[in-house]
Structure 1
Amino acid sequence: MTITSAGPTTLPTEIAALRQLDPGLMERLRHEALTIPRNWSVEYGDYQNGGWHTLSLLNDTGDPRDVTIRDCPQPQPTALLEQMPAVQELIAELGVKAMWARLARLDAGAFLWEHRDYGELTTTERHRLHVPLVTNSSAYLVIGGTKVHMSVGRVWRLTPTSPHGVCNRHGPSRIHLIIDCYADDTFAALNRGEVVGLGHAELLPVLEQSQIDEVVATATGLAELDYDHAAETTLLKLFYQYAMPEGQAYDLISGMYAALGREGDAQRWTAKKTVMLGRP
């Protein structure tokens, strides 16, 4: 099956390239990210295929391995942040009202499946900032049918309440500093620095019915041989190759199991879609 790109495009509205960072500071940030973190935590296992690890820098307990995101109007530095003066400097320089801050490492071959964030939190307005520290061209985010590579040297804004997924196809590991923050005047001023037209964005091709049938047939064959994980992964990965309607990959898995007469598995994936996207 040949995959042809639909071509370059402007960044979708859910993501923006903001202020550029000093190269010297960037080098210190990168050095800290590569040399200091230890004992990365694995959380949100249902959201990934493995290979996505995090450590908290600001939270409400001070424990860097406490990584389950929740509302935190007055976060405190964790033991890890205390060892990272360059990261402290950047967070202070940005000046936003942080809810949480963490390092996120996405290893080679890792996928974070299509999902929405903040669904379990209050309705308080919040936003997410990404600062890529270590990355590669095969690490990208998919949102709104668009593939976006967030390059180093700049602060990026993401609207994570829109369906999105992330992958790192070939490596090396991608490491981002992620800051979840509340809306305030400082955040608004940071966004006024958006650089229009900057970004590495590419429209994904539309998935035709004949291609759907081909991939579903392959996945069904794997499921019939009891290779359920491989079958499910085959369908979930379509999100990173094609512009698909919201939740279609989950629907294809549910439909595959229903066609095989495995109603329990079909219902399980229908329920999982609700968890991941906040709607059936």
Structure 2
Amino acid sequence: MTSAPIAPAALPTDVAVLSRLEPGLVERLRHEALTVPQDWALEYGEYQNGGWHTLSLLNDSGDPRDVTIRDCARVRATTLLEQMPAVSELLTGLGVRVMWARLARLDAGAFLWEHRDYGELSGAERHRLHVPLVSNTSAYLVLGGTKVHMSVGRVWRLTPTSPHGVCNRFGPSRIHLIIDCYADEALRKLDHGEAPEPGDAELLPSPDQAQIDEVVATATGLADLGYDHAAETALLELFYQFALPEGRAYDLISDMYTELHRADDAKRWRSKKDVMLGRS
């Protein structure tokens, strides 16, 4: 199966480059991220295929392996952040009101499936800052049919209440410092209006029905032979290849199981769609 070339695009409105970091600081951050962390936590298993790992830097417990995001009245440094002076310096220097901060590692071949964030939190306006420390061009975010590569050396803002997914198709591992913070004057001052660079964003092609049908036929054959995980993965990965309507990949899976007369599996995937996209 072949697809049309990916076209350059503007950044989606829910993504922005806020500011640049001094190269020396970036190297110190990168060194700490590569040398200090260990025993990464695997959480949110239903949202991924098993290659996304995190460690907390600021939360309300002080435990770096406490990585389940929640509203925190007051955050404190974890034992991991105490070993990372450059990261601590950056977090203080940004000046934003932090709800949570963590390191996130996305390994080669890893996917975070299409989802919305913050659905379990209070209604306070908040945004997610990404500080890429180690990356590669096969690691990218997909949002609104646009592929976004967050490059190292800049502070990015993401509003993750819009459906999005992340992948690292070929590696090496991608490591980001992720800061969930509240919308306030400090966050607004952090936005220096940095212009995106060529290659930051590309439009994903729209599929024709024949392309979708080809993948569906292959996936259905796999599921009919009992290879459910491979079938589901083939359909979920369409989100990273084509500009699909919201939730379309989940619909394809439930429709596949309906076609195979597996009503319970079809119902399970309809329910999963609601959870992933914040509709439950």
TM-score for both structures, normalised by structure 2: 0.98
Runs of at least 4 residues of structure 1 off by over 6 A? none
Task: State the alpha-carbon separation in 1 of the partners of residues 5 and 20 from structure 2.
Answer: 29
Task: State the alpha-carbon separation in 2 of the partners of residues 124 and 279 from structure 1.
Answer: 18
Contact 2:18–2:154 (CA<8 Å) still a contact in 1?
Answer: yes
C-alpha RMSD over aligned residues:
0.9
1:18 shift after superposition: 1.2
Q: Aligned to 1:99, what secondary structure does the other structure show?
A: strand
Task: State the alpha-carbon separation in 1 of the partners of residues 23 and 124 from structure 2.
Answer: 34
Contact 1:5–1:203 (CA<8 Å) still a contact in 2?
Answer: no
For 1:175, the equivalent position in structure 2 comes to: 175
1:194 aligns with 2:189: no
Q: Aligned to 2:88, what secondary structure does the other structure show?
A: helix
Contact 2:219–2:231 (CA<8 Å) still a contact in 1?
Answer: yes
1:196 shift after superposition: 3.1
Contact 2:3–2:207 (CA<8 Å) still a contact in 1?
Answer: no
For 1:241, the equivalent position in structure 2 comes to: 241
1:110-167 superposed Cα distances (whole Å, 9 cap, x missing partner): 0000000000101011110000000001000000000000000000000100000000
Quick check: 197-206 or 106-115, which moved more?
197-206
One-letter code aligned to 1:58? L
Task: State the alpha-carbon separation in 2 of the partners of residues 197 and 140 from structure 1.
Answer: 15
1:6 shift after superposition: 3.6
1:184 shift after superposition: 1.1
For residues 97-246 of structure 1, what are the structure 2 equivalents within 5 Å? 97-191=97-191, 193-198=192-197, 200-246=200-246
Task: State the alpha-carbon separation in 2 of the partners of residues 73 and 154 from structure 1.
Answer: 28
Task: State the alpha-carbon separation in 1 of the partners of residues 223 and 156 from structure 2.
Answer: 40
TM-score for both structures, normalised by structure 1: 0.98
Contact 2:57–2:77 (CA<8 Å) still a contact in 1?
Answer: yes
Contact 1:135–1:172 (CA<8 Å) still a contact in 2?
Answer: yes
Task: State the alpha-carbon separation in 2 of the partners of residues 209 and 170 from structure 1.
Answer: 27
Structure 2 unmatched runs, 5+: none
1:100 shift after superposition: 0.1
Contact 1:73–1:98 (CA<8 Å) still a contact in 2?
Answer: no
Contact 2:43–2:68 (CA<8 Å) still a contact in 1?
Answer: yes
Q: Aligned to 2:244, what secondary structure does the other structure show?
A: coil
1:10 shift after superposition: 1.0
Q: Aligned to 2:117, what secondary structure does the other structure show?
A: coil
Task: State the alpha-carbon separation in 2 of the partners of residues 187 and 56 from structure 1.
Answer: 21
Contact 2:57–2:81 (CA<8 Å) still a contact in 1?
Answer: yes
For 2:251, the equivalent position in structure 1 comes to: 251
Aligned-residue identity in percent: 73
Task: State the alpha-carbon separation in 1 of the partners of residues 193 and 63 from structure 2.
Answer: 33
For 1:80, the equivalent position in structure 2 comes to: 80
Structure 1 unmatched runs, 5+: none
